Structure 1
Amino acid sequence: MEPKKICSDLVALRSENPLGDTSGPIEYIRDFLEARGIGVQVICTPGGRCNLVTTGKPQPLMLCGHVDVVPALDEGWIHPPFSGTIEGGYVWGRGSSDMKGGCAAILSACDELAEAGEALPATLVFVCDEETGGEYGIRYLLEKNMLSPCDCLIAEPSPALHPCIGQKGLCRLELRFTGTPGHGSLYPLVGISAVMEATKLLDYVQSLHKREFPMDENLLEIIRTSSQVFAGEFMMDKGSEILERVTFNPGVIAGGEKVNIVAQHCDLDLEMRIPWGCDIRDLTREIMVHAPYASIVKETLHEPSLTDPSCDFVSIVCREIEAVQGRPASPILQWAASDARHLRSAGFRVIEYGPGELTTLHGTNERVTVAALEKSAEIYLRIMRVYGSRSQAV
């Protein structure tokens, strides 16, 4: 079955997160796989947050994708965001790139295996909740010991010649600042403003971006390659700074009680992406030293993660990409976060590679080219056959 048709079907099955209900696309995938003789188990958590794992003995390869998508408003789209329109060499709609296109390519490759009468040489995992941290998706499956560590290919969108083998760390702090109220006309002589204390911390956090951290020379070489890729994909000429330094975003700040009262409370949700060589817990402690009137309400910390670039899994994926794309492939690192971090922490070797128009992710007119879907399906098929031949040789 052509991946463009599968992608179109999946886009039309709404699964925005929040709210997170993925029952529609998971039921579609279940029916698709069972019709081809592939056994599955569907695991649902409250709110229709559903996951799917193929049954049978653990395999040395796992193909993984998430079926939840970020929300979309109707305004500004050439085609309605949940239409799945196929036009002009693209499949259009929310999730077409991130990442129902990758899921469609996996399913299309499995369809070709079934048509050829070949057994599926991989475990398939389709999850909910990637867009909000994975609590009900990949993290839930790992906590329930439903997945065994192996080589894992996540079909996240990536540059056509560059599988992603690592990600920066993630630090999210929900901070509550507490000040001393007083008459607004007397500040700063009277009172301690929680709002001003929050802004003082942000001044300090901004200075962290200038800090450099020690890195292995081999990692620096991949960072240089990654920076060149980013420059081409995103017109971004400071990719090395993004990967080598702390980047930050004060996503939410709210505080104060009234314009003429020195603010007693202020809440700040701060996110930072952490480079290799930076001790994330030391950094957190350092931040709190510069926030004497703040307490941590909630803390989420993930170290930078990396799959060994010299391992055979990376070599196999790059080789099969080269065979289909007709040009040399090389691994890169990325600044964003995905389910890869949870899987690497659990002992999986993880690579991300999939179809997508990267500049449209989470934006209006999200789309994926039909050509990218077809090539990704072929690459997945070739990788699965490599692992299938290995299993037969054992």
Structure 2
Amino acid sequence: MAEHPVEDLCAQLIRFDTTNHGGGSSEGERDAAEFVAQHLSAAGIEPTLLERAPRRTNVIARVPGTDPTLPPLLIHAHLDVVPADPTEWTVHPFAGEIRDGYVWGRGAVDMKDMCATLLTVLHRWTTEGRAPRRDLVLAFVADEEDNGEWGAHWLVDQHRTLFDGVAAAIGESGGYTVRATTADGQPVRLYPVATAERGTSHLLLTTTGRAGHGSRRNDDNAVTTLIAAVHRLAAHRWPVRLTPTVEAFFHQTGKALGIHVDLSTDDAVDDTLRRLGPAAKIAENTVRNSTTPTVLSAGYKVNVIPGLAQARIDTRVLPGADTELFTEVDRLLGPDVTREFLTNQQAVQAPVDSPWFTAMADALTAEDPEGVVVPFCMGGGTDAKAFAPLGIDCYGFAPLWLPENFDHRHMAHGVDERVPIEGLRFGTNVLDRFLSSV
């Protein structure tokens, strides 16, 4: 069976509109899931399609390894994408167009690229009669772009036995090229691999007061109470809190770039980030917790003081910081504001000094001998939050080579999302090396 060009597989996957609008509203992942299942079957792998609701489809499969005594490895990738407005794009976001050395379209880097590289590796193994050392559990899931209730979290809740014995997992957001420079201006290619990610705690704040006429004095105004509390929260400067992953990032990156690293105080950490230049973007959002107001709602008429006001806060919590963070949140909000969790997913932390990380680093540097692999903590979140509570060490490793002046961070969820063809081919080779040897 001939190997399918990875760029063609990526383009075909993009052409399936799997838009996730949030709140359970979606175009559905079914068509893309069936495409994946067909390619797994063609590679001699038996897929299982699982749905919590019609068209919210997950594909699960197991690839037998040559050594059954080794614990399995999970590879998870999501099939859904965020919305895209065609009027803003150079090409239609679901055209899956290949041009100028790139595959264009929504999901190109988040994360139908990894779906394509993984399928390509599996086709290659079938053609060449190869197999991995350990069993691989494959999960192409729905609903990552919302809260996983139709995808990874549902699978863990209702089909937990699928993941029995799994020791580690790889998923999105890691193993891609970050171009930096040394202190004397020499170029360096970093490859950050995620060994942690901040927890996701979306909060709903509520204040109540006395409804009344907008022209009259009212010292019990729910809106002003809420605004004052949200301002205190937004203005608060959270202290630096360095986790093992972030400390390792600073020391290893500083060594690679010849940059002096001082982590002794909050100001010293901020100064170190400035000295890191472009590499600072990898860590700048994960030296602190964060509480970001995103939604305000109150009132229905300009001359009516409402009796209820609410705000939503996107809160990101570093590993091990939950208690101290929420104690301080409650102090800042004060007694007149109630809070509740809309989402509360715990932070993820896996060992940096592990055979898994070493194998990922070896696979990357085999393809780019001058590359430097460093650990990092994701500022956001992935489906790793569903799998980590099972005792699985979760890593962000979706290898991808990126050219000069390509802003990977702006591609995901951005306009004109695209992925370089050479990057896909590099990622396929790295993934092949890793999965074959680990």
Q: TM-score, normalized by length of structure 2?
A: 0.80
In structure 2, list runs of 5 or more residues that go unmatched: 178-190, 258-272, 403-407
Equivalent position of 1:4 in the other structure: 7
Q: Distance in 2 between matches of 1:128 and 1:150?
A: 22
Q: What SS class does the counterpart of residue 50 from structure 2 fall into?
A: strand
Distance of aligned partners of 1:171 and 1:210 in 2 relative to their CA distance in 1, 3 Å threshold: same
Match of 1:62 among 46, 54, 74: 74
Shift of 1:222: 1.7
Shift of 1:295: 3.0
Distance of aligned partners of 1:224 and 1:191 in 2 relative to their CA distance in 1, 3 Å threshold: farther
In structure 1, list runs of 5 or more residues that go unmatched: 388-394
Where do 1:139-178 residues align within 5 Å?
139-143=153-157, 144-145=159-160, 146-148=162-164, 149-156=166-173, 158-160=175-177, 161-178=191-208
Deviation per residue, 1:188-214 (Å, 9 max, x gap): xx241211122111122124334333x
Distance of aligned partners of 1:276 and 1:142 in 2 relative to their CA distance in 1, 3 Å threshold: closer
- Is the deviation greater in 285-294 or in 167-176? 285-294
Q: Distance in 2 between matches of 1:232 and 1:70?
A: 34
Paired letter, 1:249? T
What RMSD in Å do the two structures reach over aligned CA positions?
2.7
Paired letter, 2:198? K
Paired letter, 2:297? A
Tell me if the contact between 1:157 and 1:358 (Cα under 8 Å) persists in the aligned partners.
no
Number of residue pairs the alignment of both structures matches: 383
Equivalent position of 1:249 in the other structure: 292
Q: Distance in 2 between matches of 1:312 and 1:111?
A: 26
Tell me if the contact between 2:201 and 2:342 (Cα under 8 Å) persists in the aligned partners.
yes
Q: Distance in 1 between matches of 2:253 and 2:389?
A: 23
Where do 1:181-192 residues align within 5 Å?
181-187=211-217, 190-192=218-220
Distance of aligned partners of 1:269 and 1:233 in 2 relative to their CA distance in 1, 3 Å threshold: farther
Shift of 1:293: 3.1
Paired letter, 1:287? V
The reply to whether residue 283 of structure 1 matches residue 325 of structure 2 is yes
Equivalent position of 1:96 in the other structure: 108
Match of 2:233 among 205, 212, 226: 205
- Is the deviation greater in 53-62 or in 17-26? 53-62
Deviation per residue, 1:205-240 (Å, 9 max, x gap): 124334333x45674232566799998999585765
Tell me if the contact between 1:233 and 1:359 (Cα under 8 Å) persists in the aligned partners.
no
Tell me if the contact between 1:173 and 1:270 (Cα under 8 Å) persists in the aligned partners.
yes
Q: Distance in 1 between matches of 2:245 and 2:39?
A: 43
- Is the deviation greater in 301-310 or in 131-140? 301-310
Q: Distance in 1 between matches of 2:47 and 2:298?
A: 49
Where do 1:193-272 residues align within 5 Å?
193-213=221-241, 215=242, 219-223=246-250, 240-272=283-315
Distance of aligned partners of 1:240 and 1:208 in 2 relative to their CA distance in 1, 3 Å threshold: farther
Shift of 1:322: 0.7
Paired letter, 2:221? S
Deviation per residue, 1:291-345 (Å, 9 max, x gap): 4333335442233321100011001101111101222322222211111122222
Equivalent position of 2:35 in the other structure: 28
Shift of 1:12: 0.2
Q: Distance in 2 between matches of 1:233 and 1:126?
A: 36
Where do 1:293-312 residues align within 5 Å?
293-312=336-355
Q: Distance in 2 between matches of 1:233 and 1:361?
A: 23
